[in-house]
Amino acid sequence: MSVALTKNQELAMNGGSPVRKTLLPYGRQWLDEDDIAAVVEVLRSDWLTTGPKVAEFEQAFAEFVGAKEAVAVSSGTAALHAAIYALNIKPGDEVIVPALTFVASANCVVFQGGTPVFADVDPETLLLDPEQVEAKITPRTKAIMAVDYAGQPCDYDTLQAIADSYNLSIVADASHGIGGSYKGRRVGSLANLNTFSLHPVKHITTGEGGVITTEDFELARRMRAFRNHGITSDHRQREAEGSWFYEMVDLGYNYRLTDFQCALGIRQLQKLPDWVERRRAIASRYNDAFATSPSVKPLGIAEDVSHAYHLYVIRLNLEHLSADRSTIFTDLRSQGIGVNVHYIPVHLQPFYQRRFGTRRGLCPVAEWAYERILSLPIFPSMSDQDIEDVITIVHHVTNFRDAPI
Ligand SMILES: Cc1ncc(COP(=O)(O)O)c(C=O)c1O
């Protein structure tokens, strides 16, 4: 008796298919013994939090990105929240946010009572499209949230020209972008406020963590109070001054990053240049491998940027395939390739539809892209064999799902 195979079983059996035994994730942290030793050293010291390592990490981070000030906080989301707070965004204010980003880029505006206004992205780069930004400006617009999607810096000169002519601030959500540059200027020094995430899938990690960089001392001062309940002095300063007195001048949060996390951050930062190089080498191998594929198209890259490749995103040419993105996603996962999708357009999330009435059709390019994108594994400790496995299996799956001509 013959049993009908599902397409997926057929794929798995197809011609000695190159299935991997273990799932290769799309991103992964890299921790060495010296990272662990640095954390343990702090755990044995007097200061577990708000001690000397915070300032040391902030200084090293500011130097790395070429900014005057760096403020360390407990997550990338806290960094975005602090930036929106520092700009004094209030109820009634609007911030223009790209539709294709992680929800936190928009949520931070809502935290302060503001309204995120979604703008569409460029179909080649999936970065915020400056023309779409200008089309969304109203008398209530206060800022533009520029997200360096996948690790490619936005077109900051064009965005800055728009911001200058309408008197707006720019927040760069550079959670994907550390190590990149735009026209020779480093990510972290490109906007009024630049935010980073130190989550384990990002370039460097402190477990959870975030940083905001700025040239503006006053904004940095406001954010340092904001991360500490809105109190103007911290525990260590009061201890040094032998004082108990403190003042809460504004509403803040506990968004502090611990000293042992900062000790980890200092170590990770030292390795970042090599890791970004490795990410670029992996991306370059993928670019070559998919250059002539009829089914898979890498994202476009502007000429004047240096990409940091937090993600390597491909667009599926659905017109050339007999399956949709969800099926290809499942195929690749079943073959051991841990692909992911970045992102579901934020305006399609139930919360945004309910609270702000956003609907399908609002940002057609982001919606079109969402149906086609997949993030392939990219992280510095990937072996050359891992990279070749990804390439072979992507070719294998897309050939198998080739549309009949
Ligand atoms: C673009 C973007 N913004 C913000 C965040 C939030 O960072 P965190 O997870 O550290 O809060 C992330 C993290 O996934 C992100 O990718």
Which candidate in 53, 68, 136, 202 is catalytic? 202
Minimum CA distance residue for ligand 1 atom 8? 76
Residue 16 has pLDDT above 90, yes or no: no
Ligand 1 pocket, CB under 6 A = 75-77, 80, 101-102, 104-105, 147, 173, 175-176, 197, 199, 210
Specify the pLDDT at position 191: 98
CA of 401 to the centre of ligand 1 (A): 33
Residue 311 has pLDDT above 70, yes or no: yes
Task: Give the integer Cα–Cα distance in Å for 215 and 69.
Answer: 6
Specify the pLDDT at position 3: 47
CA of 292 to the centre of ligand 1 (A): 33
Residue 402 has pLDDT above 90, yes or no: no
Q: Is 202 considered catalytic here? A: yes
pLDDT in tens, 257-282: 999 999 999 999 999 999 999 999 99
Q: Which of 12-21, 99-108, 127-136, 285-294 has the lowest mean pLDDT?
A: 12-21
Total-model pTM: 0.95
Residue 5 has pLDDT above 60, yes or no: no
CA of 145 to the centre of ligand 1 (A): 13
Residue 143 has pLDDT above 70, yes or no: yes
CA of 104 to the centre of ligand 1 (A): 6
pLDDT in tens, 44-73: 999 999 999 999 999 999 999 999 999 999
pLDDT in tens, 366-387: 999 999 999 999 999 999 999 9
Q: In 3D, which of 325, 320, 308 has the Cα closest to residue 374? A: 325
In ligand 1, the atom with minimum distance to the C-alpha of 210 is 10
Average pLDDT of the segment spanning 112-140: 98
> Mutate which of 29, 102, 206 to test ligand 1's pocket (most atoms within 8 Å of Cβ)?
102
Question: Residue 241 — pLDDT band, cuts 50, 70, 90?
Answer: confident
Specify the pLDDT at position 257: 98
CA of 209 to the centre of ligand 1 (A): 10
Specify the pLDDT at position 343: 98
Minimum CA distance residue for ligand 1 atom 7? 76
pLDDT in tens, 176-209: 999 999 999 999 999 999 999 999 999 999 999 9
> Mutate which of 126, 152, 175, 261 to test ligand 1's pocket (most atoms within 8 Å of Cβ)?
175
Q: What percent of the chain has pLDDT over 70?
A: 95
Specify the pLDDT at position 9: 54
Mean pLDDT of the chain: 94
Residue 12 has pLDDT above 90, yes or no: no
> Mutate which of 80, 176, 199 to test ligand 1's pocket (most atoms within 8 Å of Cβ)?
199
Residue 99 has pLDDT above 80, yes or no: yes
Residue 13 has pLDDT above 60, yes or no: no
pLDDT in tens, 28-42: 999 999 999 999 999
